[in-house]
Amino acid sequence: MKIRLKTKLIFKMVCIAFLILSCSSEDDDTQIGDWQERSVFDGIPRSNAVGFVINAKGYMGTGYDGDDYLNDFWEYNIEGDYWVQKADFIGVERSSASGFAIDGNGYIGVGYDGDNELGDFYQYNVSTNTWEQKADFGGGFRRSAVSFSANSSGYIGTGYDGENDKKDFWKYSPLTNQWSELIGFGGDKRRDATTFVIDDKVYLGTGVSNGLYKDDFWEFDTGSETWTRLEDLDNEDDLLRSNAVGFSINGLGYIATGYNFSSMSSIWEYNPSNDSWDETTAFEATFRQDAITFNDQDRAFVLLGRTGSLYFDDNYEFLPTVEYDEDN
């Protein structure tokens, strides 16, 4: 009798230990970071559109649908999760343009119209839903450049002018409607690079030049307007790419989707406190390049783009602190 009781006790202890180990293993396998589908874009599927965010609304337009270059323009209500068509962009139809928002107004310029690189530049007034042409971009004609805004100024740099890849940067002042060239960027020439903003710093990396994917990574201090080279991107990881999107949430930066000899879905997370990268939950839709992103403080969306000749109109929000759910 005592032997049976002892045997049962040992059996129970083994079962409990197994359950604890199983739960621990499941906890270790828990993946943080989830994607949730949002309202599908109302317009034509496309790639290489341009966008910016103003007052919790994403604005997006232009692009290429596989046959035509486009000039329609749309507003995405982030809180309400719906789309509204706005006044068409007044410049020539184009793709691979650059855009940013300054003090409640949007700006779009440069790009490619199917025959030539472009250098024109326009302001969008949200309150009146109207466009106005501004001073041409100071750096001449180009497409596939990076752009961002800070301290009531806009910036455009790198890109391709039809013959050569570029590494120059230019600053736009809406008060004077003038461009001025910045100095101090020591990085490589490139097109189709990626940026994201954390606090008062802009981070720039990826892109391609002469068939080589670039691994240098840079920080731009928007106060002093100085560049600092950070740790190079790891060649052994699949972080190197072009035609990606960049965004930031809660003090961390992200590079998502893109192209490196094929369309990609992997997502990498950057921690500026220790200049390090970690792979996170991959994009939960078709691999793609030439997408765009809406990044509004603590929310980020990746939408549109293409893979090969297939163009997309879908829209996904990234939730970096939510447990991955393969069923949503």
CA distance 93 to 297: 30
pLDDT value at residue 236: 74
CA–CA dist 305, 256 (Å, integer): 12
24 and 146 share one domain = no
Q: Say which residues have a Cβ less than 8 Å from residue 274's Cβ, sequence separation at least 6.
A: none
Domains contained in the chain, number: 2
Q: Is the model's pLDDT at 1 over the cut of 70? A: no
User: What is the per-residue pLDDT for 21?
Assistant: 39
| 201 falls within a domain | yes
In the numeric block, the tokens 């962009």 are attached to 89
Q: Do 96 and 3 belong together in one domain?
A: no
Q: What is the pLDDT of residues 273-305, one digit of tens each?
A: 999 999 999 999 999 999 999 999 789 999 999
Distances (CA, A) of 263 to 309, 310, 313: 11, 11, 16
Task: Determine the residue type at 277.
Answer: W
Sign of CA dihedral 129, 42, 76, 70: negative
- 289 domain-assigned: yes
Q: Can you give the pLDDT at residue 327? A: 73
Q: Which domain holds residue 18?
A: 1-30
| Average pLDDT value for the chain | 92
Is 16 within a domain?
yes
211 in the same domain as 145: yes
Residues 208 and 190 placed together within one structural domain of the fold: yes
Assess if residue 328 is contained within a domain.
no
pLDDT for res 324: 86
Under a CB-based contact definition with an 8 Å cutoff, are residues 61 and 111 in contact? Answer: no
Q: Are residues 21 and 113 in the same domain?
A: no
pTM (two decimals): 0.90
Q: What is the CATH number of the domain that holds 256?
A: 2.120.10.80
Q: Is the pLDDT at 212 greater than 80, yes or no? A: yes
Q: Over the stretch 141-196, which tens digit does the pLDDT of each residue have?
A: 999 999 999 999 999 999 999 999 999 999 999 999 999 999 999 999 999 999 99
74 in the same domain as 185: yes
9-47 per-position pLDDT tens digit: 444 444 444 344 344 444 456 788 899 999 999 999 999
Alpha carbon distances (Å) from 135 to 72, 119, 129, 205, 276: 22, 9, 20, 28, 39
The whole-number pLDDT of residue 31 equals: 83
Question: Residue 149 phi/psi, 5° resolution?
Answer: -130, 155
